[in-house]
Amino acid sequence: MSKLPLQIRDAIQAKLWAECDERGWMSLPYAERAPFYERWTRDPSIGGQLAHLMDARAVRVYIKDTLVKPYVRERLLGSEDVVLATLGIEAVGDAPERFIKPHGLRLEDGRVLCWGRSREWKSILLAVFERGASRNASPFGVVLVESGQTEDPKRRELVKEAARRLGIARMEWLDDE
């Protein structure tokens, strides 16, 4: 895969990311994403180009893991200002500590916050709790980008109750991307 010229990779990735933006990728359930991977793999301008430069059997995995996976990470990273506003926190500039997997911050005052897709709510809540406990800080807030897993009010109540039991002060959702 190192034979893949950056110019080709970047052009294909830009095309995929534009379609992801158009389709609301962040809120698509996993099952609805599979047909896109299949279509992209068969598309001569995407999978066809890649198949000339790598083993054709690896194209779908390459599209998914190397070209599209960073899209989600980048979009979540870019939502930091929205997350802070949702939690009623002014812009923080240089936070003492930033996290990925899931995204988060430890603020100067010791508050820890994390955000991510609602389908990953369990790991996000536990990350806030663990990061707060291991740094002598407080698990302050979680913001979930709705991805079809917690739209039901009963499910949201369950998530809120889990957050409360973990000592997380604020629990919010972003329903619109």
- Give me the pLDDT at residue 176, please: 55
Question: Residue 99 is encoded by which pair of tokens?
Answer: 């996290």
Q: Within its chain, how far is the Cα of 142 from the centroid?
A: 13
86: pLDDT strictly greater than 60 = yes
Condensed to tens digits (0 to 9), the pLDDT of residues 134-144 reads 888 999 999 99
Condensed to tens digits (0 to 9), the pLDDT of residues 92-136 reads 777 889 898 899 999 999 999 999 988 899 999 999 999 999 888
Condensed to tens digits (0 to 9), the pLDDT of residues 36-71 reads 999 999 999 999 999 999 988 899 999 999 999 888
Q: Within its chain, how far is the Cα of 35 from the centroid?
A: 20
pTM for the model stands at: 0.70
The more confident residue out of 152 and 26 is: 152
159 to 54, 92, 122: CA distances (angstroms) = 43, 27, 8
Nearest CA to 168 out of 135, 143, 138 is that of 138
10: pLDDT strictly greater than 60 = yes
Confidence of residue 1 (pLDDT cuts 50, 70, 90): very low
- Give me the pLDDT at residue 164, please: 97
177: pLDDT strictly greater than 50 = no
2: pLDDT strictly greater than 70 = no
DSSP-assigned letters across all residues of the chain:
-TTS-HHHHHHHHHHHHHHHHHHTGGGS-HHHHHHHHHHHHH-IIIIIHHHTTS-GGGHHHHIIIIIIHHHHHHHHHTTHHHHHHHTT----SS-SEEETTTEEEE-TTSEEEEEEEGGGHHHHHHHHHHHHHHTT-EEEEEEEE--SSS-SHHHHHHHHHHHHHTT-SEEEEE---
